[in-house]
Homo-oligomer: A and B are copies of this chain.
Amino acid sequence: MSENGEKLPDIQMYRDDRKLKINKVGVKGVRYPIIVRDKAAGSQSTVATINMYVELSHDLKGTHMSRFIEILNEYRGEIGINRFRAILERMKEHLNASSAHMEIEFPYFMEKEAPVSREKSLMEYYCRFEGNLSDKHDFIVRVKVPVMTVCPCSKEISVYGAHNQRGIVTVSVRFRKFFWIEDVIRMAETSASGELFSLLKRPDEKYITEKSFDNPRFAEDVVREIATKLKADENFFWFSVEAENFESIHNHSAYAYIEFS
């Protein structure tokens, strides 16, 4: 599905008579190296998975799939929060569409310092930008943050110990002005029983274990803690928070989801 063959027929431009507008049409799962802003280092190279769609008018047979990739190539090296809206505008224009939609997901690294030894190491988070531009503009930033949770019930009822586990917190926000993803990541990490590190020495491990046992949290507590902090920041006029605990005593997850608008 491409275009511009000099004399080749352009099937996509044929008329369609089924009178059905298509909400989203485009390319999905495009893998692309990108550079994103980084609070500590200025910028960071990573690899994204990208979906790009436009609305297709009821009277057109198809869209020109190659144009989406052309636009990515135009903005190569600039794909990120700042240029997101410009890319959506370019999609509307180049694809001759009334609305454009893009989703970008990528791993993002932060350098963290172990709490006692001060050893530095990298932690990975998954970020996602999702934008839609029609008459209105909508933009959502999402980040997935691995955390540790200690079960308050297990701790309370047991003479010693408590089951704990890794979990994933997913925070999505709509916002008024630029913010650093790093700040939302820290908000999530400090709302669980404990945070994760790549590199811990024994004194760190002792510190983290004891601290997390001092802060037992259900999935329910984690989403409420984060929601309370997000509500207090008026930059975020909509958000959702999801916590999934990979329970260490069960083979399924404990889950909590809160949405605010």
Contact = CB atoms under 8 A, between A and B. Distances in A.
Contact of A258 (B23, B69, B159, B205): B23
A135 to B, nearest CB: 18
A80 interface: no
A150 B46 CA distance: 34
A6 interface: yes
Interface string A194-205: 101111111111
Interface in A22-61: 22-33, 44-47, 51, 53, 56, 61
For A32, A150, A157, A259, the residue with the greatest tally of chain B CB atoms inside 10 Å of its CB is: A157
Q: Classify the secondary structure of A's interface with B.
A: mixed
Contacts of A27: 250, 252-255
B250 A197 contact: yes
Contact of A153 (B2, B44, B47, B70): B2
**Most chain B CB neighbours (cut-off 10 Å) among A2, A4, A44:** A2
Contacts of A73: 120-121, 199
A163 to B, nearest CB: 6
B256 A24 contact: yes
A235 interface: no
Interface string A113-126: 00001011111100
